[in-house]
Structure 1
Amino acid sequence: MARFDHSVQQALARHSGVISRAELLAIGLSPSAVNRRVRSGELRVVLPGVYRPAVVPATPELRVRAVALRLGPACVIAGRWAAWWHGLIQAAAGPVSVVMPPGSWPSTHPTIAVARRTLVPADRTTIRGVPVTGRARTVLDCAGEFDAESIRDTALQRGTTIWSLDRALERYGPGRGAVAARRLVDQARPGGVSPPERDALHALLRAGPHSWTAGLRICIGPAEQYVLDLAIEGLRLAVEVDGWRVHSTAEAYHRDRARQNRLVEAGWTVLRLTPRQLRDDPDGEVAAILRVAAKLAADGVAAGRVKDGCR
């Protein structure tokens, strides 16, 4: 871009491929120079007043960044687009959903869906330079979506807790979508971060006599922390539910084996259960797990043992 190439490239790098008209003018281009580059195709319009170089592809990420640049720092990406930005879904489509403060500058562009409300700082975050709703708030905002349970479960698998969802619910208030949001959280409240884990937990509790804990956090040594899918802490018995989506990669395969070795070394008995096993023979799988629990109890494994805990 003539004499301003370096400055323009710096501005483009800050926004990962988009630049605003105001930035171009601040760099030193005249309005006619900007218009000339648009007419020549050197710059392509992404949104009114926001451009991309012709060599930069028009990707979904570029759309999000263009919306954030167009609407300014008061804009927070929300809904399915926030879920996609968090990595909770594979793709998002349609207008980019945003939250803007009441009374802020409106946008009537058809590719942007604006909701007017005030978000407290706890319900927003910044990821890769873009303001988005926090992960817990994003889960609640997607409660009415067809894949709401999958979005919630993926968030739980990535560290979102029921506690954080409850706090987000308190801030959510009684408005539109609150009933669906509370129902979505309540469905996961018994424990487990995926449908197979919840199915296994409920089956074990029904067959019981033991008390099982979902998502038990333990420490091995001074620094190693693990979260167990299902566990009886007093018996040091863990049941890991190996869903395909989470455990199918080579990295996950090796990580799971190393984790299991460390648990066994620390005195834990680790059993593995797949959704298919639970679906095909739930009674048989549960009975096998309970036999192991009964043997551990009979052998006195728990006698005199201090419960694991993070210190």
Structure 2
Amino acid sequence: MRAIHLLTLRNSGLGTGRTVDDRMRMRLAVLQTGPGAALAGAAAAWWHGLVSRVPDVPVVVAPHGRHGTRVEDVTVWHRTVAPRDLTEVDGLTVTGLELTVLDASVTLGVKVMDSALLNKKVTVAALDTVQRRNAGRRGSPRARSMLEAMSSGARSEAERITAKLLEGSGFTGWSANTPACGYVLDFAFEASKIAIEIDGMAFHSDAVAFQRDRTRQNDLVRSVQPYDGNP
């Protein structure tokens, strides 16, 4: 199948009155790229169910040395991906979950990595292993910096910024994600009995998660003695 066929199929259907939907478009992108190709980046994240929006132009990785016909409406990255970092989902070869999270986070932002970690799709350790194994790829430095930020233990972008501010200001004796009163505090100075909670809808997965954090904070406030201004 030549590249021009994808453009024709997208514009006129399959000759049976059926238009090419997004899933078929992803399959065609991989098929037309050739043997050894795999869906990658934001498109793979969508295929894995990590994000809800399908990209207009999917990214497909193809082995080094591929010299096929240029594929319309597809970005082809030439790199050889180890078999262990590829998987098959619904009959389509895509990059593995960890590599997909790393690549999609570079394209779509750290929220992809945040969400995957929050929902226990991946772990920081597994991401780090795959990152090291694919260190020379496109976007690798940015993915590495995101992982280094994750090593602080803070779960969201706002919490990572706070951790960086605390570290940069020379504060000591604090910890992130500290268990207390049946909850996990964002930050705590345990010796001083000080807790810091980071709020904001932008850094929660949804409105339910936002309200859950507000309820948690109210419970924590009721469980401690209010500060009266005296040391």
Please confirm whether the aligned pair reaches a TM-score higher than 0.5, indicating the same fold.
yes
Retained in 2: the 8 A contact 1:239–1:273? no
Q: Does 1:178 pair with 2:143?
A: no
CA deviation after TM superposition for structure 1 residue 83, in Å: 1.9
Structure with bigger RCO (C-alpha 8 Å, 6+ apart): 2
CA deviation after TM superposition for structure 1 residue 62, in Å: 1.5
Q: Does 1:246 pair with 2:208?
A: no
TM-score with structure 2 length normalisation?
A: 0.67
CA deviations 1:197-239 (Å, max 9, x no partner) are: 5578789999996755xxxxxxxxxxxxxxxxx442xx66323
Q: Does 1:69 pair with 2:31?
A: yes
Residues 45 and 191 (structure 1), Cα distance of their counterparts in 2 relative to 1, 3 Å cut: same
Q: Does 1:237 pair with 2:182?
A: yes
CA deviation after TM superposition for structure 1 residue 195, in Å: 2.9
* Number of aligned residues: 203
1:291 maps to: 224
1:83 maps to: 45
CA deviation after TM superposition for structure 1 residue 163, in Å: 0.5
- Which amino acid in 2 is paired with 1:90? S
Structure 1 segments unaligned to the other structure (5+ residues): 1-19, 22-37, 39-43, 213-229, 257-271, 279-283, 293-311
**1:275-290 superposed matches below 5 A:** 288=221
Instruction: Select which of 85, 89, 102 maps to 1:140.
Output: 102
**1:106-121 superposed matches below 5 A:** 106-121=68-83
Instruction: Select which of 95, 99, 114 maps to 1:153.
Output: 114
Q: Distance in 2 between matches of 1:137 and 1:289?
A: 43
TM-score with structure 1 length normalisation?
A: 0.52
Residues 237 and 66 (structure 1), Cα distance of their counterparts in 2 relative to 1, 3 Å cut: same
1:104 maps to: 66
Larger Rg over CA atoms: 1
2:190 maps to: none
- Which amino acid in 2 is paired with 1:186? E
Secondary structure of 1:142 counterpart: helix
Secondary structure of 1:52 counterpart: coil
Aligned Cα RMSD in Å? 4.3
Q: Distance in 1 between matches of 2:70 and 2:222?
A: 58
Structure 2 segments unaligned to the other structure (5+ residues): 187-198, 226-231
1:273 maps to: 213
User: Aligned residues: percent identity?
Assistant: 27
1:259 maps to: none
